[in-house]
Amino acid sequence: MVRLRDMKNYRKSSHVIYDIKYHICWLTKYRYKVLHGPTATRTRDLIRQICSAHDVQIITGAVATDHVHILVSVPPQLSPSKLVQRIKGATSRKLQQEFPALKKRYWGQHFWTRGYFVVSSGNVTDEVWMEYIRNQSEPEPDGDFQVIQP
């Protein structure tokens, strides 16, 4: 039986108490270094909006010039593949609409690579993942979800 004092990091919904965390990483197509300045900031903001709409809590994250890392707490009804599909699909469409240079570069409308990396945080502690993501490069300060500038 789980004691209440052990449940401080658990999340609750109407019929479930959970603590499901994933470290997810995905790349820009051809590893083009296009995520910088306003593009990176907009990418971060879009990811925040999408996660918020699906009750996904971003624990920490980083937008590098050619990839994105996030450590998220996800409700049990949302699979990692569906989450990544929603994030990559919506950000690709919005970024190409808002930044004409991206639409020109990615003429096939595929902004992200087809694959992604995901691992549950159960194999290592959350602190290890958070430290790994923080140490990608020098971050721009903005809470726990950073834009990394080269």
Which structural domains are found in the chain, ordered by start? Answer: 18-148 (3.30.70.1290)
Compute the half-sphere exposure of residue 109: CA atoms within 13 Å on the CB side of its CA.
Answer: 5
pLDDT average, residue stretch 11-19? 88
Phi first, then psi: what are they for 137, rounded to 5°?
-175, -175
85 or 124, which is more confident: 85
pLDDT average, residue stretch 18-42? 95
**What's the distance, Cα to Cα, between the start and end of the chain in Å?**
48
pLDDT average, residue stretch 119-141? 74
Q: What is the pTM of this model?
A: 0.81
The pLDDT value recorded for residue 1 is 39
The pLDDT value recorded for residue 2 is 45
Residues 91 and 50 sit within 8 Å (Cβ to Cβ): yes
